[in-house]
Structure 1
Amino acid sequence: MKSLLIVLAVACGVGSQWVTAQAADNPDLAHAVRTAPVGLPLDKLLTTQAPQNSAELLDSPSMAKSIALITRDQPATATGQAGSVWSQDGGQDAVQAKLNLKQDKKIGLWLYFGDKGQAAADGLAFVLHNSPQQARAQSHAGQSLGVWGTDKTPLVTEPLAVAQSAIQNSWALEFDTHVNRTPLPGMHGFFDGDPTVPNGMHVDHGYPGTASSYVQLGAAQQHYYGLKPTQPRPVSNLADGRWHHLTVKWQAQESVLVYQLNDKDAAGNFQSKDDYLAGQIRVDQQQFAVNGSVPNGVFWGVTGATSTAGSENGLVVVDQLSDTPKFDKLGAVVRDVTGLHSMEEGGRLIRAGDKIDPGHRVRYTFRTRYTGKTELAGVKIDVPLPKEIKWRRARVALQMSDDLFFEESTLQGDRFQYQLQRSMTANVPHARNTLLVSIEGTVRPTSRMVRMPPVIGNFYGPDYRSPSATIPYLINGQSDLQVANLGKDEIHAVADKHALIAGRLTNGRDPLTHEEWEDSHVKVTLNNRVVGQPQVTQARQPGSQPGDFHVSIPIDSLKMGRNIVTISADDGYGNVTRRPFSVHVIKQAGQLQFTQVPKDSTFKTTQLSGSRQLIQRHLNWGLKIRDTREAGRSWKLAVRLSEPFATTAQRQLSGNLAWVQKKQTTHIKADEAFPIPASPKGQAEIDVTRSWAANEGLMLNVNNDAVAGEYAGQLTWELYDAP
């Protein structure tokens, strides 16, 4: 007997009109949208109706209107932005989402601050307010973060004037990503000038509409204002191109707001207390009062701003509200139902990493269970439809109701969307608390291995969402893997460098995708022996395809003469290249040689003292030796004074060359081949003279009877292939 019997649903539109924000000119925004966490739909929950508001609602890959873009990175436009989103106040199908100060509430948000690091500007703020402007409340750009006051002119004489330009009757928890310490009158850039404010990104809080929050600085008609810090706390880089989770808990009895920043990782897993920043703040509810009366409910929301000096992408996703309908997530599965009758139960359960062949029939099933105490009307269903499958039919089942089936003609779009006519109920006899969606289709033919990502099915309403995600699996396309040589069939190994072979891996005539390249393995054999861990790198030069690569063969692994290197590949899933290619690598004997010999070396000009002296060298003594022979060979170096030092009148210098090492001086006789210590230490090329200290190495010894003059001689450097 079936546990899920019958379904009743009414289509709310087939095929999606939702368009994920495209940002070709803003790659960070495209990245933020692409990686956005699962969140609630915001179009009935939050509003952007404030005038001159930079905020707008965007679609995420899994849900329409689930991202609030507060500010946009626009470096080419030197204008400041101020943006805000506020909880709806009910009416016209909107949700009554204001925060009731008499009741506990928990709000979970994901915040995104761009990817500019210390160059970010200016940040976001979580705000509570009871402004007379209601959902149209908003402050200014720059350091005001859309909530604090501003001092646009040096003529402002009272902090009250600054406070009056802020959102009135408000409290703000700011996440400041730009330190404002410019003490210039009228530049509104000194809010973070207090010495207790960290010299970097920080979190703080206060009452923007209160004069006591600001301090006046400067002289008459040259005023500027600072923000009095309350509890500034440094934070690590928020503008790191990642989403950061914030949990806000309102504790009504104590009038305390608790916040936890970075309490979840990117996968949504809760962190330990040592890994996130937490704070507990007592909020004075009188700050929300109008004519002395404290309201029951206040608006909550997020503001943000940029300045003329810089901009950033500031985005918000709401993932939790404590007073919204609750569901048990029963999960989602994929089954291979090839051979079963239409919508018949059963089939092979697909697990992560399993393969499904083209032509097989698959069924995606999503389930959720409502656990609330009241009837829940108008539940919507949204399931993306991957294009790799030709969708044939769907079934929606609400427990204790009638099944409803949909055929191929209603599954032509990229999403399956419906809205229930019957309400969901729980905790009552014959409850309609379990909802199921099954969608079937046939895997389309493909000539390549396809990685199928998780599909997130959504059961949602104006202020809630119950998502279920399938596991990732593979479509087992029979790829035609081919590898080609992009270089010469025969190459000569440069003496002390690796041999470099260029190749290209393709699927038939089609280039690989980046994902296919990551899954692939290039295999190398050298002289019929498999290379265990070949040195393979992806080619990065202009015009390269994802499957272009370089194989580096270390010179030490080659034998003298001809070597045969064979290149093949597989796609990581059992498909291998049909025909490998081979390259002949010719290794030639290396050489021992001078690569630099000093031509006009000199000693420093010295005044004779009548005593024996050692004269130091100038810096023009560069001597380099290159040894590209096989490992283990050695050499020796010697220097000879082949022509003695003499003037142009053929008067010889009274003196000789000397070798100085560790304060020991050795005099070098004329025409003597003196051995010069040198230690190659396995290096292919060494600079011999560079290692000599100024008062060591070759020096010129002059005797006490030396006569002043300009002397020249000739040195001969000798290099021996000897042990």
Structure 2
Amino acid sequence: MTYLKWVLTVLGLGTVLATGMVASADADYDQALKTAPQGISLDNIFVPGTTSNNQASIVNTANPDITGTQAAKVNNGKKQFGALWSTTDNHFDLTKNMKSSMWMYFGNTGKKAADGMALVFQNDTRGLAATPTYGKTVSGETLGVWGVDTDKKQTTPDKLASTAIQNSWALEFDTHLNTSTNYGNTGDADSFDVGISGPHIASNYPGEVSTYEMVRTSTLLPIYSVGYYATQTHAGTITGDYTMLSNGAWHHLTIDWQASTKQMTYTFDDKDPNTGKKQTGKSASVTLDTTKIDPNNTGQVRWGFTGATGDSYENNLVIFEEIPGLVEVDANATLTDMTQNKVVDNDGIVKGGDKVRLDYQLSYEGGKQEWKDVVAQLKLPSKLSFTKGTITYADGTSTAVDLSGLDSERELTVKLAKALSSNNQTATISFTGTADEVTEPASVTGLTSTFTAVNGVETASTVDFTLNPTQEVLLASLNGTTFSADDGDVTVKGRSLCQTVPT
């Protein structure tokens, strides 16, 4: 083979390999958008940061089963910095109780994933241009918010802290462990996670000196030399294995801010990504020193997501369900056995033939905007036959629900004719009908329905329950007469003849 042919062959192979890598990454990115959960539009709510190296953007999702949903793309390549920040009209209000919920995606590469992303609250004077102070290249360890540890000669963390986004608090979702402690890695920005055992969620103040500790290390060869690396203090840590974050699934996050106690609670994986049903998840709480993130006591902070990658990367995406202060709404589902006159609890029992009512209660709890043009994507429980549907509003008006659209999958789409607001705070979608007759006990799984508008998404799940057959009681008298009672109470007078039946 000639030298020229050899070079062309190597170049061709490199192109194939490079193309294959890009195709693989794009396949994961495309799959994430195709399986995206229902969220809201981010127009005029979040915008990309204004630094020249920012690679973050807002993209449309590709799931045909959802509507009006946009995603924040934080990172999707090597050596990237990404940041998306709230607009001025959508700052986080520290003086009020606030809640936000969102879905997050961290790729599908497990142990090879890097580096993660961070939810950041900041009052950096650079505003939309806030960024760590990088040198010639981006350091993935920073996750787009922490200090840049590239000076092996710094003995104290003062300079390191000054390179982070200032006046900030960050909640990191770290997919890649940075645990180098050798002299040869000092100055490589690869030691923040020393002492951490796996991918983790944790928080602290990126611009505070107390967040970091410089550790001295040395080498004897080729000559005696001393260097320093930085470790990071992690607060409110939630840890897991390499399937915790970058596992090809969307992960739900809820944050809850209590203004009076200054406590932030974050709960991860509190919804099932396949069904949307609420689950316990993993939770931690931290108390924030608001003087560190709001030194001028404005009561407001800009907030958003940042990310950074080094030589490895993952696809980082965020879809929002609820933006604090925009619309604050709630949804619940209640199943009532009207025959028994009781609410059916989770894992409760309903008897075949009983009259039932299913209520979806929607409530408006506040916000800058009305919750309008709400579309209810309902999934009704099986083995309940409904004959009537009604939507009743707080203002006393009501409309009928057309049940002809209920398909074989028990799905029904209903649009609310009225907006929910401070003047019309609730809407209840009610269905009445009868439990099916069965010949043996049947388990009915609860289903999650979604209530969607351009400015807020809520979900509500029905309970799991067992549908029991109607028990017919047969009473035989000594003279051969037989009585039956398939419902209600029966009073029997006389002598009972009992036989023990082995079990």
TM range (shorter): 0.5 to 0.7
**In the alignment, what sits opposite 2:347?**
none
Matched, 1:249 2:251: no
CA-CA distance at 1:23 after TM superposition: 7.8
Matched, 1:305 2:279: no
**How many angstroms apart in 2 are the aligned matches of 1:424 and 1:135?**
33
Change (3 A) 1:25 1:427: closer
**In the alignment, what sits opposite 1:323?**
325
Matched, 1:56 2:57: yes
Kept after mapping to 2: 8 A contact 1:23/1:30: no
**In the alignment, what sits opposite 2:80?**
81
Larger of the two Rg values belongs to structure: 1
User: 136, 140, 154: which is aligned to 2:129?
Assistant: 136
Kept after mapping to 1: 8 A contact 2:38/2:457: no
**In the alignment, what sits opposite 1:450?**
none
Letter aligned with residue 192 of structure 1: D
CA-CA distance at 1:370 after TM superposition: 7.8
Instruction: Tell me the TM-score normalized by structure 2.
Output: 0.59
Change (3 A) 1:243 1:330: closer
Change (3 A) 1:65 1:53: farther
Question: Which of the pair is proportionally richer in helix?
Answer: 2
**In the alignment, what sits opposite 2:28?**
28
**In the alignment, what sits opposite 1:172?**
170
Letter aligned with residue 37 of structure 2: P
C-alpha offsets along residues 157-181 of structure 1, whole Å, 9 cap, x if unaligned?
Answer: 5411111111101111111111112
CA-CA distance at 1:254 after TM superposition: 0.6
Letter aligned with residue 263 of structure 1: D
Q: How is 1:59-138 mapped onto 2 (pairs within 5 angstroms)?
A: 59-60=60-61, 61=63, 62-64=66-68, 66-72=70-76, 74=77, 79-90=78-89, 97-138=90-131
**How many angstroms apart in 2 are the aligned matches of 1:373 and 1:147?**
32
Matched, 1:261 2:261: no
Which range moved further: 25-34 or 150-159?
150-159
Change (3 A) 1:425 1:113: closer
**How many angstroms apart in 1 are the aligned matches of 2:105 and 2:325?**
25
User: 211, 214, 219: which is aligned to 1:213?
Assistant: 211
Kept after mapping to 1: 8 A contact 2:211/2:232: yes
Change (3 A) 1:33 1:102: same
Kept after mapping to 1: 8 A contact 2:96/2:259: yes
Kept after mapping to 1: 8 A contact 2:106/2:315: yes
Kept after mapping to 2: 8 A contact 1:58/1:64: no
Letter aligned with residue 86 of structure 1: W
Kept after mapping to 2: 8 A contact 1:122/1:176: yes
Report the secondary structure of 2:128's partner residue. helix
Kept after mapping to 2: 8 A contact 1:174/1:205: yes
Report the secondary structure of 1:302's partner residue. strand
**Which one scores higher on RCO, CA 8 angstroms, separation ≥ 6?**
2
**How many angstroms apart in 1 are the aligned matches of 2:163 and 2:60?**
33
**How many angstroms apart in 2 are the aligned matches of 1:111 and 1:210?**
27
**How many angstroms apart in 2 are the aligned matches of 1:137 and 1:54?**
14
User: 451, 456, 463: which is aligned to 1:464?
Assistant: 456
Change (3 A) 1:279 1:221: same
**How many angstroms apart in 2 are the aligned matches of 1:146 and 1:427?**
39
Q: How is 1:260-299 mapped onto 2 (pairs within 5 angstroms)?
A: 260-266=267-273, 267-272=275-280, 276-290=281-295, 293-299=296-302
Letter aligned with residue 191 of structure 2: F
Matched, 1:145 2:143: yes
Unaligned runs of 5+ in 1: 1-21, 91-96, 332-366, 385-397, 402-419, 437-455, 469-723
**In the alignment, what sits opposite 2:443?**
none
Kept after mapping to 2: 8 A contact 1:54/1:71: yes
**How many angstroms apart in 1 are the aligned matches of 2:84 and 2:309?**
16
Report the secondary structure of 2:188's partner residue. coil
**How many angstroms apart in 1 are the aligned matches of 2:94 and 2:459?**
30
Q: How is 1:362-381 mapped onto 2 (pairs within 5 angstroms)?
A: 371=364, 379=372
Letter aligned with residue 67 of structure 1: A
**How many angstroms apart in 2 are the aligned matches of 1:378 and 1:181?**
47
**How many angstroms apart in 2 are the aligned matches of 1:208 and 1:432?**
40
CA-CA distance at 1:423 after TM superposition: 9.0
Change (3 A) 1:23 1:68: farther
Report the secondary structure of 1:135's partner residue. helix
CA-CA distance at 1:239 after TM superposition: 0.6
Which range moved further: 213-222 or 311-320?
213-222
Kept after mapping to 2: 8 A contact 1:38/1:319: yes
CA-CA distance at 1:375 after TM superposition: 9.6
**How many angstroms apart in 2 are the aligned matches of 1:252 and 1:207?**
18
Change (3 A) 1:213 1:371: closer
CA RMSD of aligned residues (A): 4.0
CA-CA distance at 1:111 after TM superposition: 1.1
Change (3 A) 1:99 1:179: same
Report the secondary structure of 1:26's partner residue. helix
Kept after mapping to 1: 8 A contact 2:171/2:201: yes
Change (3 A) 1:459 1:225: closer
**How many angstroms apart in 1 are the aligned matches of 2:172 and 2:199?**
10
Report the secondary structure of 2:327's partner residue. coil
**In the alignment, what sits opposite 1:542?**
none
Letter aligned with residue 92 of structure 2: L
Count of residue pairs the alignment pairs up: 342
Matched, 1:234 2:227: no
Report the secondary structure of 2:111's partner residue. helix
Change (3 A) 1:263 1:65: closer
**How many angstroms apart in 2 are the aligned matches of 1:211 and 1:41?**
38
Kept after mapping to 2: 8 A contact 1:98/1:298: yes
Report the secondary structure of 1:109's partner residue. strand
Report the secondary structure of 2:160's partner residue. helix
Report the secondary structure of 1:86's partner residue. strand
Change (3 A) 1:89 1:155: same
CA-CA distance at 1:249 after TM superposition: 0.5
Matched, 1:154 2:156: no
**How many angstroms apart in 1 are the aligned matches of 2:361 and 2:279?**
26
Unaligned runs of 5+ in 2: 1-21, 133-137, 219-224, 334-359, 378-392, 398-415, 430-448, 461-503
**In the alignment, what sits opposite 1:696?**
none
Change (3 A) 1:435 1:216: same
**In the alignment, what sits opposite 2:44?**
44
Kept after mapping to 2: 8 A contact 1:85/1:303: yes
Q: How is 1:543-558 mapped onto 2 (pairs within 5 angstroms)?
A: none
Change (3 A) 1:427 1:155: closer
**In the alignment, what sits opposite 1:593?**
none
Change (3 A) 1:157 1:381: same
Instruction: Tell me the TM-score normalized by structure 1.
Output: 0.42
**How many angstroms apart in 2 are the aligned matches of 1:381 and 1:424?**
7
Change (3 A) 1:383 1:176: same
C-alpha offsets along residues 50-102 of structure 1, whole Å, 9 cap, x if unaligned?
Answer: 31222111112334452111110x4xxxx411212222212xxxxxx211111
Report the secondary structure of 1:32's partner residue. helix
Kept after mapping to 2: 8 A contact 1:131/1:169: yes
CA-CA distance at 1:400 after TM superposition: 12
Report the secondary structure of 1:33's partner residue. helix
